[in-house]
Chain A
Amino acid sequence: MIETVVLIAIFAISVAILALLYRVIKGPSIPDRVVALDAIGINLIAIVALTSILLKTDAFLVIILLLGILSFIGTVAFSKYLEKGVIFDHDRDN
Chain B
Amino acid sequence: MKTNDIILQTTTKVVVFIIILFSIFIFFKGHYTPGGGFVGGLLTSGAIVLLLLAFDMKTVAEILPINYIYMTATGLLFAVGTAAGALFFNVPFLTHAFGDVYLPILGKTSLHTATIFDLGVFLVVVGVTMTIIQTIGGDE
Chain A residues at the B interface, C-beta cutoff of 8 Å: 59, 62, 65-66, 69-70, 72-73, 76-77, 80, 83-84, 86-94
Contact = CB atoms under 8 A, between A and B. Distances in A.
Contact of B35 (A62, A72, A90, A93): A62
Contacts of B138: 88, 90
Contacts of B54: 76
A76 B137 contact: no
Interface stretch (B44-52, B77-85, B120-128): B44-52
A90 B57 contact: yes
A76 B139 contact: no
Contacts of B137: 87-88
B139 A90 contact: yes
Nearest to A81: B53
Interface in B8-34: 8, 15, 19, 22, 26, 33-34
Size class of the contact patch on chain B: 20 to 34
Contacts of A89: 56-57, 139
A87 B26 contact: no
A73 B58 contact: no
Nearest to A91: B58
Contacts of A84: 3
A94 B3 CA distance: 9
A86 B58 CA distance: 15
Contact of B57 (A70, A72, A80, A88): A88
B43 A66 contact: yes
